[in-house]
Amino acid sequence: MAFVQPGGRRFYYLDRGEPGNSAVLLLHGFNQTAHSWDDFAPRLAEAGFRVVAFDQRGHGESERPPDGDYGREAMADDVVRLADDLGIQRFSLVGMSMGAVHATLTAVRHPARVHSLVLVDWAPEVESAGVAAIAQIAPLAFDSFDDAVAAMHAFNPRRTRDNLRARLGHSMRQEADGRWRWKVDAAGLTAHPRFREPPESMWTAIGQVACSCLVIRGADSELLSAAKAEQVVARFRTAELITIPDASHSVAGDKPEEFYAAVAPFLMRTAR
């Protein structure tokens, strides 16, 4: 684990695998961290890739932008700055939810840099009920870490308490009043105009992606319907869809074995 400062800002990242291997960059979702990929990244590195996961701006241990810029384009360009700092010229991208937005825009804005794209449980238009359910979690504070683990297990019982404990240890902190809160700058992110932009811009961006794409959907996703997932695939020039049974929105954490089995072969074909 290390810190890097692309563009003069501090970013936390995890770098696994040999530097000369084909690179895959992992972009987490809202209120997550680089450690959201801890079930997936080590296995991918063992398969012969260089795998880099990082806390996006305003998340985890990475800095909050002093200018409050959480624009989609700025966060996409962070990916390229990080790659430049690490000496990575070309890479594939795996983006989950919010990270899928930034992965898509990176592929559009820097097509010569991106081998291939994996988008996890995202479309430009997602189910409002699922968004509302997730939004209720972000402002919560807990009297103890165990209380936080219990609450998140009730929210998503597919994950074991040990798994949740490991992930929450990186996305929460105990503050001066003794209570446990999320590290994410939820107020800054949700106040940004990006959340009020019409979906048409991202539908258009999908159609501009030149590389091959794999779309992953959790069969029980609260955010991405089967119909919307099909629409996403249809907009790409080259794309395929895999639905993971008994997985919710957090596919990689809910079903790590099935997620790896779906994504790794695609990257083996397209990321080198």
The rounded average pLDDT for each run of 10 residues, N- to C-terminus, in the chain (272 residues) is: 79 97 97 97 98 97 94 96 95 98 98 98 86 71 95 92 95 96 93 91 97 97 95 96 96 97 98 86
Q: What is the pLDDT of residue 178?
A: 97
Q: What is the pLDDT of residue 137?
A: 74
Q: Which domains does the chain have, with CATH numbers?
A: 2-127+186-270 (3.40.50.1820), 139-183 (no CATH)
Q: What is the pLDDT of residue 68?
A: 93
Q: What is the pLDDT of residue 208?
A: 97
Cα separation of 240 and 230, whole Å? 9
pLDDT tens profile 163-197:
999 999 999 999 999 999 999 998 999 899 998 89
Q: What is the pLDDT of residue 12?
A: 96
Q: What is the pLDDT of residue 261?
A: 98
How are strands ordered across the β-sheet holding 172-174? 141-142, 180-182, 172-174
Radius of gyration of the chain (CA): 17
Q: What is the pLDDT of residue 120?
A: 98
Cα separation of 210 and 88, whole Å? 20
Q: What is the pLDDT of residue 7?
A: 73
Q: What is the pLDDT of residue 213?
A: 98
Give strand ranges (E) for the chain. 2-4, 11-16, 22-27, 49-54, 91-96, 114-120, 141-142, 172-174, 180-182, 212-218, 239-244
Q: What is the pLDDT of residue 256?
A: 96
Closest CA to 155 of 142, 72, 193: 142
Q: What is the pLDDT of residue 195?
A: 84
- Provide the sign of the torsion angle of the four alpha carbons 217, 221, 225, 228, taken in this order: negative
